[in-house]
Amino acid sequence: MLEVNRSAVKFSASLSSGLKSALVDGKSLEGVFRQIALSMSSRLLNASLAPLEQLAGKAASSLGNALGNGLSNLVSRDAPVTPFAKGGVVASPTYFGLSGASGPGGTSGLGVAGEAGAEAILPLARGPDGRLGVAGGGQGAGRRTGAGGPKIQINVATRDAESFRRSEAQVSAMVARAVSRGRRGL
């Protein structure tokens, strides 16, 4: 009702102004009425489009809220970001972002880990030959193992000391082959 009153006041002001222009300024009455008709048409069009503008505004606001809520559910104070630089285990379905070449076939979007059970996340490092592989035991890629290297324990069970002496060369050769394969990355 208030809007109708405002429109009536504006119409009467336009009509008065137009008649004054026709009488005082000598403008044609036809031009004055044409201007009033255009003004009224514009106001009616604006009034009829107002509900559509409000609907579009509400739809855009709802869409923005939905997107905002969806993104905030991915990362929020209740679900903090967990770093996996040193590795870790994903025990339940967990979504993560893919960026370019890291996805299958160079895709981007979202990936999921842990959907079929626990999965390990292993840190990668480049070896001395430049090849990418799993960084093991905190050694880092390409680091020679020495006194601080990984400790390997081999248990050999024999019937007696003489049996051990007979198999010692065979066990030593097997260990040497395993170490050699490990250095080549096999």
Domain boundaries defined on the chain: 2-74
Q: What is the pTM of this model?
A: 0.32
pLDDT digits (tens, 9 = 90+) for 37-79: 787 777 777 777 777 788 777 777 777 766 666 555 555 556 6
Q: How far apart are CA 3 and CA 126, in angstroms?
A: 73
Helix and strand tally (H, E) in the chain?
3, 6
Q: How far apart are CA 105 and CA 179, in angstroms?
A: 35
CA distances from 88 to 55, 61, 79 (A): 48, 39, 17
